[in-house]
Amino acid sequence: MLRKVALNLLSAGLLILSFPRFNLEFLVWFAFVPLFFALEEKSKFKSFLLSYFTGVIFWLGIVYWLIHVTLPGMIILVLYLALYFGIFGLIISCYRLQATGYRLFSIPAIWVLLEYLRSHLFTGFAWALLGYSQYLNLPIIQLADITGVWGISFLVMMVNVVIKEIICYRLQAIGYRKSIKKLLFLAFSMWLVACGYGFFRLNQNIEGNKLRISVIQGNIPQEFKWDPNSKNFIIDRYINLTRQAIKDRPDLIVWPEAALPVVLEEEPVFYGKTKDFVREIKIPLLLGAVTSKDKLYYNSALLISAEGRLLNKYDKLHLVPFGEYIPLRKTLGFLQTVVPIGDFSRGKEYTIFKIQNSKLKTQNSFAVLICFEDLFPELSRSFAKKDADFLINITNDAWFKMTSSPYQHLQASVFRAVENRVALIRSANTGVSGFIAPTGKIISLVEGRKGRNIFISGYDTEEIIITKRNLSFYTRYPDIFIIACFLIILFGMIPRIRSKPKPKSR
């Protein structure tokens, strides 16, 4: 039993090292192999427990940063997320798909469907998906404009299964060896096609209009953000950084989520000060702020014109459960004593902003993703379908201190750019802020003197290319790959259903 536990720990450790800030993404391609060996010839119950244990260790290593907000909440979340690992092991044991010639495709399909379920159930937690580990592997992630991140998760898991089969190769019968050679060749061909497609995409020439944008990273500690004595300090920090950025002559300046430390309608003097500043520099400003209407509060993004007028406002659509609101408040209201929960209302519209290109005198469209909204592909797709030329993510990850959380968050932004073939700009209070190309390449990030990206103040300016584009396959048909995974599982179950013995008649 100790050997099995050691194998589980090895799998969890390899998976943790595959994600930020270690970024040893090559490890994920064989991270599940020890777990597969641990599950061999185990009962359904033991398979669940061993896989669940692996999940607990993995998620502790991934979301440990939540301890800075709530220890009980972190423990509850880890125990919940580990269930998907347990269910993965249970399904493999239940249907014994690992013992059939179809396992190279059925096991990855099971994993993808579980990731998809986790990303949608209970409003969803699409964090640390297996495919996200490859966010720096540009050739591989180009496939996301066809399959979404799910295709990358599938490919990674398939390679894990292949490696396990190779290790077992010499231990099997001759007939097995002949059949596995064909499957291994097919799997290798799929991986090669994915790489070939990636290199093709990366070598395409991208032409279009250029738009110059500056992002501001204020680096306001969380304990200062809503301190009444820090209001002027915070506003002055953003204004001073912006004065430096305007030397680059941007077409748009972006401040992060809740950059203004007040509710706009309750303390309009600070909003007025901001608009006066915008009129002075004559450059449009996008900023995050808390707004109110009819006694309801919203986490909003506002676009102020170069003349100091409010052009448009977006209210966050996907709120953080147990962070920005309490689901089933009458039943779960007691949780307010466990975690710090806001009291926000959900927005109702997919707002598209317009910005003027100062050189070409043309208008470009963009959409804003607030906080962790970039985790949800359906939001980005909806904005892309409404003709957003690029996306902007404004966020505040100061809650989680000097941890891997901001870099794990960055992974999702990379995939939203590739999936929809649009540039994505990030402005984060304490980082990571910067620019991501439609290929997923991280063009540049706000950096300090020692190359640090988080908990430093600064700004960055880049030109993004706005192309006349067609919607990507994934933007148009997002669930095709998920349906394919479901059909793979269904196809594998049919022979088992047919082979069940019929009850004898008396």
Q: Provide the percentage of residues in the chain whose pLDDT is more than 90.
A: 72
Domains of the chain: 2-203+481-498 (no CATH), 209-466 (3.60.110.10)
Distances (CA, A) of 411 to 180, 300, 394: 35, 23, 15
Residue-level pLDDT at 330: 46
Residue-level pLDDT at 494: 65
CB atoms within 10 A of CB 484: 16
Tell me the pLDDT band of 338, cut-offs 50, 70 and 90.
very low
Residue-level pLDDT at 2: 81
Residue-level pLDDT at 98: 47
Say what the pTM is: 0.92
Tell me the pLDDT band of 197, cut-offs 50, 70 and 90.
very high
For the chain, give the mean pLDDT.
Answer: 90
Catalytic residue numbers read 257, 316, 371
Tell me the pLDDT band of 3, cut-offs 50, 70 and 90.
confident
- Residue labelled with tokens 């800030």: 21
Counting other chains too, the contacts that 450-458 makes at CB distance below 8 Å and 24 or more residues apart are 453/406, 453/407, 454/397, 454/402, 454/406, 454/407, 454/430, 455/219, 455/402, 455/430, 455/431, 456/217, 456/219, 456/431, 457/217, 457/218, 457/219, 457/237, 457/241, 458/217, 458/219, 458/241
Residue-level pLDDT at 375: 97
Peptide bond connecting 237 to the previous residue in cis, omega within 30 degrees of 0: no
The DSSP secondary structure of 194-255, one letter per residue, reads HHHHHHHHHTS----EEEEEEEEE----HHHHT-GGGHHHHHHHHHHHHHHHGGG--SEEE-
- Measured CA to CA, the distance from residue 227 to residue 332 in angstroms comes to 28
From its phi and psi, is residue 262 left (phi > 0), alpha (psi between -120 and 50) or beta?
A: beta
Q: Convert the pLDDT of each residue in 82-130 to its tens digit.
A: 999 999 999 988 766 544 567 889 999 999 999 999 999 988 999 999 9
Average pLDDT of the residues in 445-462: 94
Average pLDDT of the residues in 377-404: 96
Peptide bond connecting 432 to the previous residue in cis, omega within 30 degrees of 0: yes
Q: Convert the pLDDT of each residue in 263-313 to its tens digit.
A: 999 999 999 999 999 999 999 999 999 999 988 999 999 999 999 999 999
Q: Which residues contact 173 (CB under 8 A, 6 or more apart)?
A: none
Residue-level pLDDT at 340: 46
- Measured CA to CA, the distance from residue 20 to residue 26 in angstroms comes to 13
Tell me the pLDDT band of 179, cut-offs 50, 70 and 90.
low
**Do β-strands 209-217 and 252-254 pair in parallel, antiparallel, or remain unpaired?**
parallel
Residue-level pLDDT at 498: 55
Residue-level pLDDT at 442: 97
Amino acid letter, residue 112? V
Q: Convert the pLDDT of each residue in 227-243 to its tens digit.
A: 889 999 999 999 999 99
Residue-level pLDDT at 169: 66
Q: Which residues contact 373 (CB under 8 A, 6 or more apart)?
A: 316, 317, 318, 379, 393
* More confidently predicted of 337 and 104: 104
